[in-house]
Structure 1
Amino acid sequence: MNWNFGDLLDMTAANVPPERPALIQGDKVITWDEFDTRTNRLARSMLAAGLKTGSRVAIMARNTPEFIEIAAAAFKARLTHVNINYRYTTAEIAHVLADCSASGLFYQAEFADTVETLFDELSDLSFGVKIGGVNDTYEELVSRGDGSPLNIQRSPDDGYLLYTGGTTGKPKGVMWRSADARKVQLEAPTIKHIATNLEEHGEFVAKNSHPGRCIPACPLMHGAGLNSAMAELLGGGTAILLPSVRFSAEELWDEVERTQATRVLIVGDAFARPMVQALKDHSGRWNLSSLKVMSSAGLMWSSEIKHALIEAMPQVTLIDILGASEASGFGYAITTVDHATPTGFFEPGKNTVLIEVETDRVLAEDEVGKGWLARREPFAAGYYGDPEKTASVYRSIDGVKYAIPGDMAARNSDGRIQLLGRDNMCINTGGEKVFVEEVEESLKRAPGIVDAMVVGVPDDKWGSKVVALVQVNEKFDEKTVNLRVSEDLAAYKLPKAIVLLESVPRHASGKGDYRLAKLIAENH
């Protein structure tokens, strides 16, 4: 089935109880009937403003119901929504908008000063909508006009642009077709029912009296957050957004209990550690029996933290997702009360392969070895406006097309995949390769380490040396840490220096800001 998110949203809305909540944030509840009507009105307003099929519409907003509504309306109108990092400067936003020739920009009122000059500077940018504040134009668009389904012919090629900054260089827009994005969604191990056509999807939604309620705790502006919310909505469920701008573990647990959330999405230990601490500090405060699944993407999720969560909530299944902006579903690490996968290891997805670096040979499915982590289709269609970069990541080998984002991995004799790390994040020290993720994982398991990042800095003797930036607690002792890490790693991988910080530099998503980390390490 070649899915289209606009068609799926229409079919879901036609079969879900209209009074069921679609979006919740604090005291604000938008029912499915309201969500459908508002997004249909917004879709019509964008088309009436002259936006054409495929026109790029950027969203610069925090985790708000409007973010999800805009994305849904874009799908319905056959427009391409584009994520904007709300931490970007005016120049960085201008780069993304110019790079994709964006025609529209939705922005929260708090970012008005940052973007107001762009409408004069960028010739393609003709449609601007302010969300909230004085002269809120957004609410006008969703409150009036025809709220019925658009009844237009859509295509599986309709999709969205996911801009990813990576660790170096300017942001690149990854092009995702609806058809491919939906197929990857349906590969998730939690999916029990896969419809073969739209009508069957509608029947499933109508019969599903207890759909999921998902809290994406990470920013919607990153792919995993919005994808998780959209997946729940497509099943007729509810997306729940935390009320506060800054992440609070106590608030998250409050909202899980209050809204009876069934699933939470986080980004590794950066979120999970304070969540565990809150459970320890306030034992017995929350009834979390509704929660069934907690998933993480994009950052290490250590075994001891997983075990602490399972001890507090034995009914929960923890799923560590191995993916990238360019392709997802490379692997899953599942932890339950009676099953655990070691940190850094994953059960490979059904389309995952390893490709030898030197020969481009695809390793057999049961072959032990190292290579590029790759997967067969479905995956993203490439990088917007960058055929050279597209050709380097999406390659055909022996007539089969693969996505090869740049991670290295090893397959062990038990069939599990061990993530080694990004080749462009590899530190060459004394002629030896050190993958930063491997060192970070070991450091985070050491007593006294709350969080850690690892970078390479120039060194006269070694070419580059390994430096660790760490956040610590009262149990920290550098000698003990070095001894613990030396149990995991060869001597050449050990940090030559450890820099103590109040917090390591991370983006809003929880992913490391390695450019800033390297500057801090070099200055130190």
Structure 2
Amino acid sequence: MPSFNLADLFEIVADAVPDNLALVAGDARLTYAELDARANKAAAALAAGGVGPGDRVAILSYNRAEWLEAQIAAFKLRAGTVNVNYRYTAGELAHVIADSGAKALVGERSLVARLNGVRGTLPDLTHVLLLEDGSDTEVPDARSYEEDVAAASPDRVAIERSGDDLFMLYTGGTTGLPKGVVWRAEDMFFTAMGGGRMIGDPITRPEEAAEVAAAGGLTIMVNAPLMHAAGVWICWAALTGGSKLVIWSGRSFDTAAVLGVAQAEGAQVMSLVGDAMARPVADLLTADPKAFDLSSLLVLACGGSATSPDVKARLNAALPNLMTILDAMGGSETGVAAAGIEPDEFGNARFAPREGMAVLDENLKPITPGSDDIGVFARKGRIPIGYWNDPVKTAATFVTDADGVRWSLQGDMARVDAEGNMVLLGRGSTVVNTGGEKVYAEEVETAVKAHPAVYDALVVGVPDERFGQRVAVVVSTSGEVTAEELRDHCRTTLAGYKVPRDVHFVPEVQRTPTGKADYKWAKATALEAG
């Protein structure tokens, strides 16, 4: 019997719409039948290397069709996958692979070569399949992915799967070494992948996925790296709903090239990662509204990082057929947990919580709506099992309240307005404690970025002899503005102690490739500037 297992659901959809285009990635164009056959072959190639139920398969690659082939293949074998950040150093790569106990690695030659000097420290890793990427670097004890796939059988794996099979997400967080968040596949499907429907209520039977697919899917373009949750979640929402999935396979976000692909493929839904992707799109379309025919585009799905109100306004103006910009809030520990709504009167991001979401005080009690209390963003119900191989962090993040209800604490701090919506303040790990007052970085960043001359900004705390810490902001601009003008602007919406005392102008605010705030860089920049 099929289950809410991702491999089962994919096969149901592939059988329902075998000739529909499933995946476009660069030059690769695969129907559902072709993608299923390729994944079956990849599963056979992994099984030949000893991969079976409960094992882990690490994937180390930029966006490409084989990334998803390998993941589907692992799920067909009831193995889990380990998403590995391709920007990691050899030591970081070795940590993730060793910590996860990965038995197999599918990766691009130039990336896997980083492990050449540390392979001896990875006794569990016994099977390596290389994806060619133009590099000629020698990688010992490795096989060709394409050759093994070409020689393998296209027949499906005869195995009974379960919704209890594991889905792992390695996340770096803001501090410390990467850690693996472990979910049941079924819970991941319903909390982060749409539950079988991009729009409407989730499916109630696995077989219902065939009906949804037969009714016709959408054309969905994913620009985030698949190594991150924001990218892979939308991919699975597309593949379990019978949609045409287009993934950006460039090595970096090239705005014009991305919009060219969206135009050529007739993208109806496009994912962007906060201002890092949305702002350059808005800039290009504002400068040249007729550069691309994006009349097919109906929905922009933004997540992974904040999207500023001014950017949303410009996107809405530039895309006349756009129905909505969906802002999602969530994380590896909570899934997609809340939907963005209009900001509050001060410009702070607000989110309408999904079922099971709450803002909890230090006693794990929901805080009172309309109060000034600040709590931590949390989810109950379908939440992760815990962190892989880390009982201490599991106990700290996945907690049980006095009534026996288990919660996942994401780490974002928020208030709850009188209507029950969450007003996001920022991560607890980025709070600035100045003279005993707590200042949340994202609240100040929102105020700073509301100035029309500010392009981007990050807020950090720096040492202060009198107050312990003081608020500093690193700013890039698109117009003329002085530090004092920025402070005056912030005073209109922020209490005095929250207004940045230090303002450091830089040509460009550095963010991670997925648009997330690089607070380590921002703090180093602020400290160096003095």
When normalised by structure 1's length, the TM-score is 0.94
For residues 462-513 of structure 1, give each alpha carbon's deviation from its aligned partner in whole angstroms, at most 9, with x where no partner exists. Answer: 1011111112223333232222111121111111112222222221111122
Question: What SS does the corresponding residue of 1:488 show, helix, strand or coil?
Answer: coil
For residues 279-330 of structure 1, give each alpha carbon's deviation from its aligned partner in whole angstroms, at most 9, with x where no partner exists. Answer: 0122212221211211111211111111111112243211111101111232
Aligned match of 1:200: 208
Task: Find out whether 1:263 has 2:269 as its counterpart.
Answer: yes
Aligned match of 1:7: 8
Query: Which deviates more from structure 2 when the two are superposed, residues 341-350 or residues 453-462?
Result: 341-350
Is the CA contact (8 Å cut-off) linking 1:302 and 1:343 kept in structure 2? no
Task: Find out whether 1:288 has 2:294 as its counterpart.
Answer: yes
C-alpha change, 1:142 and 1:295, in structure 2 (3 Å) is same
Query: Which amino acid is the alignment partner of residue 159 of structure 1?
Result: L
CA distance in 2, matches of 1:512, 1:309: 22
Task: Find out whether 1:493 has 2:494 as its counterpart.
Answer: no
Question: What SS does the corresponding residue of 2:261 show, helix, strand or coil?
Answer: helix
CA distance in 2, matches of 1:161, 1:268: 24
Is the CA contact (8 Å cut-off) linking 2:106 and 2:130 kept in structure 1? yes
CA distance in 1, matches of 2:67, 2:151: 19
Aligned match of 1:389: 393
Aligned match of 2:161: 154
Is the CA contact (8 Å cut-off) linking 1:300 and 1:441 kept in structure 2? no
For residues 133-182 of structure 1, give each alpha carbon's deviation from its aligned partner in whole angstroms, at most 9, with x where no partner exists. Answer: 45971112322322122131111121222111111111111112111101
Query: Which amino acid is the alignment partner of residue 426 of structure 1?
Result: V
The runs of 5 or more residues in structure 1 that have no matched partner are none
CA distance in 2, matches of 1:68, 1:235: 16
Query: Which deviates more from structure 2 when the two are superposed, residues 182-191 or residues 4-13?
Result: 182-191
Is the CA contact (8 Å cut-off) linking 1:82 and 1:163 kept in structure 2? yes
Is the CA contact (8 Å cut-off) linking 2:295 and 2:320 kept in structure 1? no
Q: 1:182 aligns with which of 166, 186, 189?
A: 189
CA distance in 2, matches of 1:434, 1:121: 43
Is the CA contact (8 Å cut-off) linking 1:96 and 1:171 kept in structure 2? yes
Query: Which amino acid is the alignment partner of residue 505 of structure 2?
Result: L
Query: Which deviates more from structure 2 when the two are superposed, residues 256-265 or residues 312-321?
Result: 312-321
Within a 5 Å distance, the mapping from 1:238-253 to structure 2 comes to 238-253=244-259
Shift of residue 189 of structure 1?
Answer: 9.2
Task: Find out whether 1:361 has 2:365 as its counterpart.
Answer: yes
Shift of residue 365 of structure 1?
Answer: 7.5
Question: What SS does the corresponding residue of 2:382 show, helix, strand or coil?
Answer: coil
Query: Which amino acid is the alignment partner of residue 512 of structure 2?
Result: H
Regions of 4+ moved over 6 Å: 364-368
Q: 1:332 aligns with which of 339, 348, 351?
A: 339
For residues 250-299 of structure 1, give each alpha carbon's deviation from its aligned partner in whole angstroms, at most 9, with x where no partner exists. Answer: 12221111001111111111111110011012221222121121111121
Within a 5 Å distance, the mapping from 1:100-499 to structure 2 comes to 100-132=100-132, 133=134, 137-184=144-191, 185-186=193-194, 190-206=198-214, 208-209=215-216, 211-316=217-322, 317-334=324-341, 343-357=348-362, 359-363=363-367, 369-397=373-401, 398-499=403-504
For residues 177-209 of structure 1, give each alpha carbon's deviation from its aligned partner in whole angstroms, at most 9, with x where no partner exists. Answer: 111101113369942253221222222222x23
Is the CA contact (8 Å cut-off) linking 1:318 and 1:334 kept in structure 2? no
Is the CA contact (8 Å cut-off) linking 2:196 and 2:203 kept in structure 1? no
When normalised by structure 2's length, the TM-score is 0.93
Query: Which deviates more from structure 2 when the two are superposed, residues 246-255 or residues 91-100?
Result: 246-255
Is the CA contact (8 Å cut-off) linking 1:188 and 1:329 kept in structure 2? no
CA distance in 2, matches of 1:442, 1:2: 47
Shift of residue 360 of structure 1?
Answer: 2.5
Query: Which amino acid is the alignment partner of residue 397 of structure 2?
Result: V
Shift of residue 113 of structure 1?
Answer: 2.8
Query: Which amino acid is the alignment partner of residue 95 of structure 1?
Result: H
Is the CA contact (8 Å cut-off) linking 1:469 and 1:504 kept in structure 2? yes
Within a 5 Å distance, the mapping from 1:65-80 to structure 2 comes to 65-80=65-80
Aligned match of 1:512: 517
Shift of residue 223 of structure 1?
Answer: 0.6
Query: Which deviates more from structure 2 when the two are superposed, residues 128-137 or residues 195-204?
Result: 128-137
Give RMSD over aligned pairs. 2.1
The runs of 5 or more residues in structure 2 that have no matched partner are none
Is the CA contact (8 Å cut-off) linking 2:346 and 2:447 kept in structure 1? no
Shift of residue 367 of structure 1?
Answer: 7.7
Shift of residue 364 of structure 1?
Answer: 6.5
CA distance in 2, matches of 1:383, 1:427: 27
Query: Which deviates more from structure 2 when the two are superposed, residues 150-159 or residues 468-477?
Result: 468-477
